[in-house]
A and B are shown apart, each in its own frame.
Chain A
């Protein structure tokens, strides 16, 4: 890499290659009062990228509710924090690693996991669970199968090795993700609130420590790379992907947690070196506290020779953290990290002004105001235009359910519906021995050891609904997450999100972003689940085609007593079956529409937040009063799929008699649950919910009678097909 002179940068518009517009470059000049040099141009390009500065999404993110009575930390730190009582708090955040995963799926996914874990332990919390949300192209494409296999391997190998259980997630398959798959990871941690850390570097003379792995040339420009669209030349961008080492991260994690737990008095601040590596972590720590710093780049541990400042500052080498330590305690920190066979190196000091100054080989190589770098990034409200497809929906779709049993069998084998066991069995979901509801349920449940409480957690997005109606789809994403938490016995606490969209320069994409975030905000207010952390991933396009709007919602709920933990499986024969919530002819955007027409089209069905909240309340009460034996959220595939899934675990069949056309069994009307209730609680349950029984559990068959067509399926046969379908289609 040749370091151009300032005049050459200006003349050749090098900054444009790094994602800075001419106007932005002019603003940098204005802030500095001179032309930036090569290194400085690189610092601004990274810090002002969408990935670091949220310059296109900030005005929209402001809609989100971010505070609440139990919220200890909202967005702005490594992760958000929510009080769960007894002096403990839950910490969580989600992050996308879409572009690296598209180019190098194994390392892209692995380092996505590594990065989000660092965000959690940098807050002083011990990571207790990982979840993911994956969206790929259709399974008829060989490259897609390779991407899936390697992404799953990358997630598994990292989490398995570091010893954090991967307990939940979701996976969808749609052509729009073929060239731009999505890999979102969520990490949940537990902390004693007193230990909460901030990523700030305050106090002139305090020491800046670099800990963890050495810096190489991997992942340079990763943040910039994540802020541009993909095209067929993506292969050339492979060097922008980092390489993960979960063993190194395990050692760094244990050392950092030891430092935070046992040496809090000498620790001023701690932050992960994530996107835009050393520059973003150090500049953000300084700016947050209002202090500049001097960094001596000669001291940065390097695994390659001849790295220039630009490379050192923008490398996204993994498993690195930045610490601010009180002056005079260098030896203590070095010793502590040595105990964990990890390097800790003092690379700089906090200044008493706001200048951010980099030194190399005895020369100043960058000298900028830290606030300019971090806080002065321009913010854009982009032009927005309602996509034409939303106003000219095609005619409504009516499913054909005349061969009801065959239709259900086919739906059960659709990759989005089929069991994900072949995926999640590659994840260690049990390490730490707290997982009391394993993957494959509405939400995973992790007990809080030493208490009678547990945490329920889930990731949800239904991009098809958002494609047809970004506003209601945004509401539904949050509502469905809440429904999953409630079905598991929990009270929703808050959410994190990954906003995966196309290019904000496209007014129709910007409209989708605007509407989806509006819908999510409304739903978050309804369920009292503030947004405590998150990430934005724009420019998810391939050869000019944007992905479906895909805001992933990661929600955590508190299960206040282990007695409330509820699963979807039928437990006994002779229990009565109910549907809480009304079923309508809602077929656009559904699994059966996709299966029978190959399209997702038409106007999305209506959705009402108040009804959703009311139904969730009823189910919550039924669980808390001990009236139910199982609860399952009715989502993709409708009632038929929800009931079938409930029969599988314990192989207990069911007989249903429903007063509706057979096709309605596949309707995806929201706000519904299928519940099994022991006969002894029939009266109490019906009084509470007003629901009428639609059948009962028992036998080894699933029998459904409707107004037009009937069916009978052997539970074991259906289960086998559902369980093996994904693995078969991956072959």
Chain B
């Protein structure tokens, strides 16, 4: 099985994701160009990497959602298979309506890149089952538009369905309820602003991010 990393023009964490999959998780990553109309057949999971797709012009993720490959990504997600969007990937998944809500400019209006302490709010998802419930983990952030927002009723739904997976212990961007990462109602699509691929090797300062990937990679291997 392959792990598809979608590349949009302006994606810049595509290789970072590729290396973690290949060198740390020892699975087979494959790049899928945004102009493709179909994912390869034997794909275990789709990863939408960080970066500045289409320069983030207009609005982060707003143009990428129209890329040809997104139709098949939606089909893949609809079949209950795992899709993970990180940073710009999260923005794209909300713009594509695979996840509720949206991401606005950081409240203080500045880009922020730093180590970030997160709380695991739900360890019962395909993306968080290697964590302890309530565990504190360190995963860095790097974004200008990470301020997650949704309306009251959506927020209530997120809470009722336990869709909030990660929250910030000190909110770096003003997101509602300190939200850092959520899953869709079915639990197979996740979006998060922090970069787990930057916390997957000791030499880079920690491996809490690696456990996030291990969650769905091991899940996948169990299903075989």
| A contacts, CB < 8 Å to B | 153, 156-157, 160-163, 245-248, 250-251, 340-341, 424-433, 435-436, 438, 447, 449, 562
Contact = CB atoms under 8 A, between A and B. Distances in A.
A428 B87 CA distance: 13
B203 A447 contact: yes
Contacts of A341: 9
Contacts of B112: 425-426
A250 B111 contact: no
A250 B113 contact: no
Of A246, A425, A431, most B-chain CB atoms within 10 Å? A431
B19 A433 contact: yes
B113 A428 contact: yes
B15 interface: yes
A227 B16 CA distance: 42
A429 B20 CA distance: 18
**Contact size range, B:** 20 to 34
B204 A435 contact: yes
A111 to B, nearest CB: 15
A428 B111 contact: yes
A630 B176 CA distance: 41
Contacts of B205: 438
B224 to A, nearest CB: 29
Contact of B144 (A160, A247, A340, A435): A160
B114 A162 contact: no
A433 B198 contact: yes
Nearest to A454: B203
9 closest cross-chain pairs (CB), A and B: A163-B12, A247-B55, A161-B52, A433-B16, A428-B142, A428-B113, A426-B111, A430-B198, A425-B114
B208 interface: no
Nearest to A565: B203
Nearest to A248: B55
A340 B10 CA distance: 10
Given A247-B55, A341-B9, A433 B111 contact: no
B85 interface: no
Interface string B187-215: 00000000101101101110000000000
Contacts of A562: 203
6 contacts: A162-B12, A246-B52, A250-B55, A340-B9, A428-B142, A432-B15
Given A431-B13, A432-B15, A163 B198 contact: no
A428 B19 CA distance: 19
Interface in B17-68: 19-20, 50-52, 54-57
Nearest to B52: A161
Given A162-B12, A251-B9, A432-B15, A245 B111 contact: no
B203 A426 contact: no
Interface string B96-120: 0000000000000011111000000
A664 B20 CA distance: 49
A426 B56 contact: no
Contacts of B13: 163, 431
B142 A431 contact: yes
A166 to B, nearest CB: 9
Contacts of B204: 430, 433, 435-436
Contacts of B51: 163
B146 interface: no
Contacts of B111: 153, 156-157, 160, 426-428
B142 A160 contact: yes
Contacts of A163: 12-13, 51-52
A207 B80 CA distance: 53
B203 A431 contact: no
A449 B203 CA distance: 12
B113 A246 contact: no
B10 A247 contact: yes
A429 B12 contact: no
A427 B203 CA distance: 20
B181 interface: no
B12 A431 contact: yes
Contact of B113 (A426, A432, A449): A426
A247 B52 contact: yes
Contacts of B195: 430
B51 to A, nearest CB: 6
Interface in B150-188: none
B10 A161 contact: yes
B140 interface: yes
Contact of A247 (B57, B113, B140, B201): B57
B91 to A, nearest CB: 14
A559 to B, nearest CB: 12
Nearest to B17: A433
Contacts of B114: 425
Nearest to B109: A153
B16 A432 contact: yes
Contacts of B16: 431-433
B113 A245 contact: no
A607 to B, nearest CB: 36
A427 B111 CA distance: 7
A162 B20 CA distance: 21
B97 to A, nearest CB: 24
Contacts of B19: 433, 449
Interface in B114-140: 114, 140
B170 to A, nearest CB: 13
Given A430-B198, A431-B50, 13 more contacts: A163-B52, A247-B10, A247-B52, A247-B54, A251-B10, A426-B112, A430-B113, A430-B204, A431-B16, A433-B198, A438-B205, A447-B203, A562-B203
A409 to B, nearest CB: 25
A359 to B, nearest CB: 34
Contacts of A430: 113, 140, 142, 195, 198, 204
A425 B144 CA distance: 11
Contacts of A435: 204
A246 B55 contact: yes
A466 B153 CA distance: 63
A538 B110 CA distance: 33
B113 A429 contact: yes
Contacts of B142: 160, 428, 430-431
B173 to A, nearest CB: 12
A723 to B, nearest CB: 12
Contacts of B50: 431
Nearest to B110: A426
Contacts of A248: 55
A113 to B, nearest CB: 14
B52 to A, nearest CB: 4
A333 B200 CA distance: 38
A153 B52 CA distance: 16
A430 B56 CA distance: 19
Nearest to A422: B110
A436 B201 CA distance: 10
B25 to A, nearest CB: 14
A45 B57 CA distance: 37
Nearest to A246: B55
Nearest to B140: A430
Given A428-B142, A429-B113, A250 B54 contact: no
A357 to B, nearest CB: 37
B165 to A, nearest CB: 22
Nearest to A342: B9
Contacts of A431: 12-13, 16, 50, 142
B111 to A, nearest CB: 5
Contacts of B57: 247
A435 B114 CA distance: 13
A250 B9 CA distance: 8
